[in-house]
Amino acid sequence: MIGTPTHCPYCALQCGMILSAAPDASPAAPPVEVTPRDDVPANQGGLCRKGWTAAELLTVPDRLTAPLTRKSRDAPLEPCTWDEALDRVAGELRGLRDAHGPDAVAVFGGGGLTNEKAYTLGKFARVALRTSQIDYNGRFCMSSAAAAAGRAFGLDRGLPGPVTDLAASGAVLLAGGNTAETMPPFMRHLTAMRDAGGALIVVDPRRTATARQADLHLQPLPGTDLALANGLLHLALAEGMADDAYIAARTTGFDMVRTAVNSYWPDRVERITGVPVPLMREAVGLLAGADRAHVLTARGAEQHAGGTDTVTAFINLALALGLPGRAGSGYGCLTGQGNGQGGREHGQKADQLPGYRRIDDPAARAHVARVWGVEPDSLPGPGRSAHELLSALGAPSGPRALLLFGSNPVVSSPDAAAVEERLAALDLLVVADFVPSETAARADVVLPSAQWAEESGTMTNLEGRVLRRNRAIAPPGGVRTDLWILAELARRLDAPGQWPDDPETVFAELRRASAGGAADYSGITYGRIEREGGVFWPCPAPDHPGTPRPFLDRFATPDGRARFVPVGHRGPDEDVDADYPVYLTTGRVLAQYQSGAQTRRVPALAEAEPGPFVELHPDLAGRLEIGDGDAVRIRSRRGAALATARITEAIRPDTVFMPFHWAGEGRANLLTNPALDPVSRMPEFKVCAVRLEPAPRPAAVSVF
């Protein structure tokens, strides 16, 4: 194999690619060129346009190559040495901690960090800073699905088996996912399924690129997915499609759920959701009639104040049909960010320690403390969840300093204007990034960090397969890795224990910390990952084969049975009214990714999708006298955003859609509702009430 085998820096599919030296040696040209790998099952030789252009991230014009500091909040950021930057950060952190206690300092991570960096970040917060105030942007990704899977199966792990299982499925129901745009190579597995006679059912308020390829599209009102799932289960039970033998042998709690869905008769569900009864009946028939079937959820079903219960309703449907725990069938969640799975397994999350251990479990604390060389009582307890943490910054009882790695909350957080205000109230904001993101631009200290092709590490993809990311080139001279930055800060803070910055050494410690936990990586090594093309966790010993399908024999609950959990529809936290008569839903588009800090800097991607837009139905556009291409101001109870109108029949007449990739006045998250799911603490990104009006000037909004 010529070149360096590695994986794409974007989504959780983690497509395989080869990086080889580029023939053009000019300074502005990417130093490597990308070739897709055909030995990686997830993409099988395919890449999306983001993957093909990933090398261009390495030479973006505004790449950070030296630390930056500002002398005062109003002063500009200026270059400094690494010693100056790190000494300032450590000194101010120590001073704030001594004056106000450990929780005066907070840490915020990202779902794109390698396992090694996510692990070290959690260790750094709890050992070097002794703060409980750590969470990460993965809380905004699939936390509701993780919570629902945890209480149903006793374990949360993305897909129920290898992604290639989907090609042999007889039916797949995808609720709230637009994989044709968010992870295009994933579609080849669904296409193979359809070519073999299987059926794809898509649940989405929009007729997305994925819905257009579906055999059946259910188009519910935003915020009504739970009612739809309960209605589908009602039909399955009423028409004798439930797998009674499976329910008796492998589950518990069914009687309570059967009673709960009695009230979700078809006509009532049609009135709630807008989905016609014949389409619901067809969907259930396709799932129940298949020898193998999958129910999958994604952000559209999960990013709600009732997202955990919504996912639970779809899990109940899958359980009633006898899918989870059978080879080639099951319930799964489509993880979004590149390491969204591994990123929450090893300590970034406010309530967890490495190995998916609960931080309030005495045995878990004792085990991890031994690995870290500290006393269990020295470890803090659970902290605030992501949005609660961001909302507390600078408040009298909240953190006064924030260290941020791999996230851009000024664009990605709900009620983004309020988050900006909280960041401005801090005594110290430190951001590690490779470009001056919108959040980095507000920092007191900016630390330039290495990119994906400039460092090694592991990622855990949406299948639960641990993969190797290999360094192909050296970072620019003034750039350091996040592991090095954390190790240097730990040394300056006199943190106990060892703080290696070599990824393989860190992974060896992660293996020991995860041993015996739900996400046990102890039998996985760098060499084994390379030999086997990735290893599925849990893998508790070097001779263990890994676990591609974790529930074949039993679920990870005390009695080995999956749990039915009764849930009920309650609608969105914020409904429409006379002042805000239209529903807004948000999401991604093909050419951009997450907060756009990476993709907006790639010329081909910026040209393909240059700025913010709002999709609205021709009927709604006609009533508002808005034409295609007009500037539109969208207002919610939290703020206003500016976008260009796109008139399309692919959206419901009572709903508009905005992507969330842009900054400035085009931020969709200036509008979104921060109402939180009571279990997962997921904000309600996917539905809020807005009104639209023609803007008084052209939509010349900032894309940065």
pLDDT in tens, 485-536: 999 999 999 999 999 999 999 999 999 999 999 999 999 999 999 999 999 9
Query: Residues 17-21: what's their mean pLDDT?
Result: 95
The DSSP secondary-structure symbol of 613 reads E
pLDDT at position 344 is: 85
CATH says 582-694 is which class?
mainly beta
Q: Which tokens sit at 375?
A: 């006393």
Q: Which tokens sit at 607?
A: 């040209």
Closest CA to 271 of 569, 660, 692: 569
Closest CA to 304 of 693, 638, 612, 677: 677
CA distance 458 to 294: 28
Asked if 423 and 417 touch (Cβ cutoff 8 Å), the reply is no
pLDDT tens digit sequence for 242-283 = 999 999 999 999 999 999 999 999 999 999 999 999 999 999
- What is the DSSP annotation of 419-453? HHHHHHT-SEEEEEESS--TTGGG-SEEEEB--GG
CA distance 164 to 42: 7
pLDDT tens digit sequence for 160-171 = 999 999 999 999
CA distance 501 to 698: 50
Query: Residues 340-348: what's their mean pLDDT?
Result: 89
Asked if 620 and 656 touch (Cβ cutoff 8 Å), the reply is yes
Return the percentage of the chain with pLDDT > 90, whole number: 94
Question: Burial, 140: exposed, middle or buried (Cβ in 10 Å; 0-12, 13-18, 19+)?
Answer: buried
pLDDT at position 704 is: 52
The phi-psi region of residue 516 (left if phi > 0; otherwise alpha if psi is between -120 and 50; otherwise beta) is: left
pLDDT at residue 27 above 90?
Answer: no
Q: Given the structure tokens 């994604």, which residue do they identify?
A: 298
pLDDT at position 552 is: 96
pLDDT tens digit sequence for 608-661 = 999 999 999 999 999 999 999 999 999 999 999 999 999 999 999 999 999 999
Identify the bridge partners of residue 251 per DSSP, sorted by sequence position.
Answer: 562
**Its pTM surpasses 0.75:** yes
Tell me the CATH number for domain 68-137+352-504: 3.40.50.740
Q: Which tokens sit at 528?
A: 């084994």
pLDDT tens digit sequence for 169-220 = 999 999 999 999 999 999 999 999 999 999 999 999 999 999 999 999 999 9
CATH number assigned to the domain with residue range 4-59, chosen from the 4 options 1.10.3470.10, 3.30.1330.10, 2.20.25.90, 3.50.50.60: 2.20.25.90
Domain extents in the chain? 4-59, 68-137+352-504, 143-333, 582-694
The residue count for the chain: 704
CATH says 143-333 is which class?
alpha beta
pLDDT at position 22 is: 87
CA distance 593 to 599: 6
CA distance 329 to 331: 7
- 25 — pLDDT class (breaks 50, 70, 90): low
CA distance 685 to 137: 13
Identify the bridge partners of residue 642 per DSSP, sorted by sequence position.
Answer: 633
Closest CA to 684 of 574, 545, 547: 574
